[in-house]
Amino acid sequence: MSPYPQLFQALRTGPFTLKNRIVMGSMHTRLETEPDGSARAAAFYAERARGGVALIITGGYSPDAAGLLEADSGALDQPDKLAEHRVVADAVHAEGGRICLQILHAGRYAKHDALVGASEIPSPINRRKPRALATAEVEQTVASFATCAALAREAGYDGVEIMGSEGYLISQFTALRTNNRSDKYGGTLENRLRFPLDIVRATRARVGADFLILFRMSALDLVEGGLNAEETLHFARALETAGVDVLDTGIGWHEARVPTIGYMVPRAAWRAATARIKSAVSIPVMATNRINTPGLAEELLEQGVADLVSLARPLLADAAFALKAEQGRADEINTCIACNQACLDFLFRDKVASCLVNPRACHETSYPKVRALRAKRVAVVGAGAAGLSCAITAFERGHSVTLYEAQGEIGGQLNLAKQVPGKEFAETLRYFRTRLAHSSIGLKIGHRAGADELARSGYDAVVLASGVSPRLPDIPGVTHPKVLRYDEVLSGSKVPGARVAIIGAGGIGFDVAEFLSASHGAAATPEFLEAWGVDPQGMGDGGLVPPKPEQSARSIVMLQRKSTPPGKSLGATTGWALRMELARRGILVLTGVTYQRIDDAGLHILHEGQPKLLEVDHVVVCAGQEPVNALRAELAARGIDATLIGGAERAEEIDALRAMEQGMRLAYAM
């Protein structure tokens, strides 16, 4: 029997039975913008179907040209687009899976000039102003949703999900924040709900009873002028009556100033909002956001919070999540750590999505799971992110691998990153430990590989993933006892006093500030909701209440020499929340500083042309890193051409994302 009996119970939903309760939630990939996008999407989704999910929901496709997210985004509005969709639906069906198309009209979030909205109210996250749809155009848009669903049926999909959350066009009709219309689609709640309900009724009429209709409704808007809990529940009941088979739940509009899925959000933080909807309807309800382990998914089902769980990013991280859980191999799951670094942050940079912990995601056709033509003897020196990724992938490709690590444990810099509140790198290390234990990789832990030893062993390939060392800047007094390195602080070997200056306001500077100012590690759900002003009962406007003031127990000043806004290197989708959190705790950031010296009195700087003394107990240095790669020259002297990867190759801007991708790519090149 599966250790997760609720998760692996079949469920009747509308026209068919789902084999378990795990749904791959919709996630944009941008694959549709690639020349070979359909084949790549087919491979991507087929691998997830093979991995045991009961149902897949595609990324959003617009029902018409105005609703496109970007000019080159995907739409399903004409029969000539059926072929590209058939490839995807057929690939999933061939693996025994089911797949629904998500229909998404971007409304005022569209990044093209033909954008439309419920009203002419621009979004704070889009510089373009929408044109308000005329009444007849709204009716036409309703018909376009229904036509899109009919085309999806023709393409072979098992159903559609109508995207009615996150602040896209449907949300823009339901909320007073964005709807000041005076026709039948504006004014009273009944009028504002007319647009989504008309869409559901028109869609059902077009596709018939034997086609699944999911509706993703906003369980919490998290914006002023959004729906409150009472209105949301009324909406849920109306959707059920209109003919929806399954209610999926979305949390927060994209313009909300509350983080909803980043690593700082506690796991399953939004369960109360989903449970409220479940209590209001009799159709299946799906929980979403920050559900990344089978144990947590099981708990939500057992507690009656929802009937299904939607996992989007966790299935980028591990396509076989469901199979591994079902077979009692949860410790082998490559867990999504909610970093957003390669999924959402890539999309913001107009890149195809992938995954930090699984760089194969969305690149399955470039990195097929096949063995190398010739098995080689490979040495990987360094078991940090780059070395682990390279060693495991090389082993999977049939090479005989020896992995050397000078420290007493694997992980390198990941062992520091996992100390930062909310950062779940401990899961990544657990995954790698399990993979190593199940492999025949020769593991030499606590063993510093020397050039002579490597030369003697006669490896076919030597990979140096020997990492980085913290940079100690050239500031007078930098060896003063007040000065601590970030690795000493994050590892807990040194504990700074109550007044701290942080030299360097890059990724690690921010992480250290978070580490030193968080009162008790990662926040639990009640504290998180209070700090971000979310009403647990959802009664306020948009589910919001005034945030509870917070203050860091330490007085912290972060500094950088550049005059550019601090934290520019932080992720687009998480950096803003970290900056807000630290500002709320009273942490100061000074830019454009010149460091003069460090002495018993503290840190002396020049700021805005004036000399200043920061009277601090400790100065924590987070000034970047230097590569550690002296072994390369020693090997070269012995005629061995070692390949550098990760921080050992280039310390600048090194992070786990680049390290893991580079490690995997090298293993495929062997």
Give me the 468-487 binding string for ligand NAP, x by CB under 6 A, dash otherwise: -----x--------------
Nearest distance from C-beta of residue 427 to ligand NAP, angstroms: 17
Beta bridge partners of 605: 595, 612
Write the DSSP symbol of residue 389.
H
Specify the residue, 317 or 464, whose C-beta has the smaller distance to ligand SF4. 317
Q: Judge whether 105 and 62 are in contact, CB under 8 Å.
A: yes
Smaller CB separation from ligand SF4, 177 or 313: 313
Report how far Cα 386 is from the mean position of its chain's Cα atoms: 20
For residues 288 and 250, the answer to whether their CB atoms sit within 8 Å is yes
565 interacts with ligand NAP by CB under 6 A: no
The whole-angstrom separation of Cα 212 and Cα 2 is 27
**At closest approach, how far in Å is the CB of 105 from ligand SF4?**
25
- CA-nearest of 246, 241, 220 to 232 is 220
User: Using CB under 6 A, which of 509, 538, 542, 627 touches ligand NAP?
Assistant: 509
Which of the choices ligand SF4, ligand NAP, none does residue 362 contact, using the CB cut-off of 5 to 8 A by kind? none
Q: How far is the CB of 205 from ligand SF4 (least distance, A)?
A: 37
Cβ proximity to ligand SF4, 342 vs 462, nearer residue: 342
Partner whose binding site includes residue 336, from ligand SF4, ligand NAP, none (CB under 5 to 8 Å by kind): ligand SF4
Residue position matching structure tokens 């987070």: 622
- Residues contributing to the site for ligand SF4 (CB under 6 A): 313, 316-317, 336-343, 355-357
**Stretch in the footprint of ligand NAP (CB under 6 A) among 144-152, 297-305, 558-566, 580-588:** 558-566
Residue 357 contact, options ligand SF4, ligand NAP, none, Cβ 5-8 Å cut-off depending on partner type: ligand SF4
How far is 14 from 245, CA to CA, in rounded Å? 5
Work out what residue 315 binds among ligand SF4, ligand NAP, none; the CB cut-off runs from 5 to 8 Å by kind. none
Distance of closest approach, residue 425 Cβ to ligand NAP, in angstroms: 11
Taking each continuous run of H as one helix and of E as one strand, the counts in the chain are: 22, 27
| Residues in the chain, total | 670
User: In Å, how far are 141, 165, 611 from 161, measured between CA atoms?
Assistant: 16, 11, 60
- 366 three-state secondary structure: coil
Q: Do residues 67 and 169 touch, judged by C-beta distance below 8 A? A: yes
Query: What is the Cα 394 distance to its own chain's centre?
Result: 26
The residue number with the shortest CB distance to ligand NAP is: 506
**Cβ closer to ligand NAP: 285 or 559?**
559
Catalytic site includes residue 61: no
Alpha-helical regions (H) of 491-609: 507-517, 525-532, 575-584
Nearer to ligand SF4, 6 or 340 (CB): 340
Give me the DSSP letters along 249-311.
EEES-TT-SS-SSSTTSPTTTTHHHHHHHHHH-SS-EEE-SS--SHHHHHHHHHTTS-SEEEE
The residues, any chain, with a CB within 8 Å of residue 303's CB and separated by 6 or more, are: 271, 275
Nearest Cα to 526, choosing from 517, 535, 539?
535
56 binds, options ligand SF4, ligand NAP, none, Cβ within 5 to 8 A by partner type: none
Nearer of residues 339 and 531 to ligand SF4, judged by Cβ: 339
Binding at 316: pick from ligand SF4, ligand NAP, none (beta carbon under 5-8 Å per type)? ligand SF4
Residue 313: alpha-carbon gap to chain centroid: 6
Does the footprint of ligand NAP cover residue 462 (CB under 6 A)? no
- Judged by beta carbon, residue 63 or residue 575, the one nearer ligand NAP is 575
Contact status: 506 vs ligand NAP (CB under 6 A): yes
Phi, psi of 434 (to 5 degrees): -65, -45
> Cα separation of 163 and 165, whole Å?
6
Active-site residue identified among 45, 61, 109, 168: 168
Site for ligand NAP in 611-670 (CB under 6 A): 622-625, 653-655
Residue 455: CB minimum distance to ligand NAP, A? 32
| Least distance (Å) between residue 333 CB and ligand SF4 | 12
What secondary structure letter does DSSP report for 642? P
The item of ligand NAP, ligand SF4, none sharing an interface with residue 103, based on CB under 5 to 8 Å by kind, is none
Closest CA to 217 of 201, 229, 206: 229
Give the interface with ligand NAP as residue ranges (CB under 6 A). Answer: 473, 503-509, 511, 560-562, 569-571, 622-625, 653-655
Write out the catalytic residue numbers. Answer: 168
